[in-house]
Amino acid sequence: MANVPIVAGMELPSELFKLSPKRVFGLITDPRHLAVLRRVRHGYLGGTTGEYADPDFVGRELRYARRIFSRHPEWTVINVTNRPIEEIAAKIRKAMEVVT
């Protein structure tokens, strides 16, 4: 299992496309919620993250991710807004049981 961050303008690793599409999960969230979380992280990092927490930048990154996901409709996309990590993991685990 791996976490592959999607960064606007950066290509995804080619290894990702060698996997069974049923083993790839895209995580999306509300841009306002993500911007708030990133502002907190930006503060912890001493304000050195550039545009990382800017709401417009966050929106562009999420639109970029959605475009990638739309080109791969066989990937499972999960909205993680306001969901605890345990719930997200349970959804992925349940989906993986169907694959294996």
| pLDDT, one tens digit for every residue, the chain (100 residues) | 788 999 888 899 999 999 999 999 999 999 999 999 999 988 888 887 788 889 999 999 999 999 999 999 999 999 999 999 999 999 999 888 876 5
Report domain extents, the chain: 21-99
Do the Cβ atoms of 30 and 18 come closer than 8 Å?
no
Do the Cβ atoms of 40 and 22 come closer than 8 Å?
no
Condensed to tens digits (0 to 9), the pLDDT of residues 10-25 reads 899 999 999 999 999 9
- Residues 8 and 74: their CA atoms lie apart, in Å, by 21
